[in-house]
């Protein structure tokens, strides 16, 4: 049962860290390497959490008193991992300029003058 408790704690912690990174990704995109690093971290955390949640379910573990919650959370973690790999500013998918790029263009124009 110690392994089940450890799986529960680690999987919930990795989901929480991935959620915090997801909410902070706009801040990380300011650095050129930040977006790719954050996306990979979110993806790794979510996939590992999904694996642990599936293992927790099949080992008979419980989340918040329910044995049926681990599998849907594992699926949600996989969806977040897939969504976390989408680019915010890396490739121009929507045809719009990123606000950070606008700010850099304005700085460059003001420095030229």
Does pLDDT of 6 surpass 80? yes
**What's the structural domain count of the chain?**
1
Range of the domain at 31: 2-112
Number of H helices, E strands in the chain: 4, 0
Kindly indicate the confidence band of residue 96, based on its pLDDT and cuts at 50, 70 and 90: low
27 contact partners, CB below 8 Å, separation of at least 6: 34
Q: What is the pLDDT of residue 3?
A: 83
Kindly indicate the confidence band of residue 66, based on its pLDDT and cuts at 50, 70 and 90: confident
- Kindly report whether the global pTM for this prediction surpasses the value 0.85: no
């Amino acid at each position: 049962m110690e392994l089940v408790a450890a799986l529960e704690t680690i999987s919930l912690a990795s989901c929480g860290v991935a959620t915090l990174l997801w909410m902070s990704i706009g801040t990380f995109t300011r650095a050129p390497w930040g977006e790719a690093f954050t996306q990979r971290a979110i993806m790794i955390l979510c996939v590992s959490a999904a694996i642990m949640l599936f293992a927790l379910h099949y080992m008979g573990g419980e989340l918040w008193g329910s044995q049926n919650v681990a599998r849907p959370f594992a699926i949600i973690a996989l969806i977040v991992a897939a969504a976390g790999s989408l680019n915010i500013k890396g490739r121009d998918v929507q045809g719009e300029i990123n606000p950070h790029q606008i700010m850099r263009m304005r700085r460059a124009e003001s420095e030229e003058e």
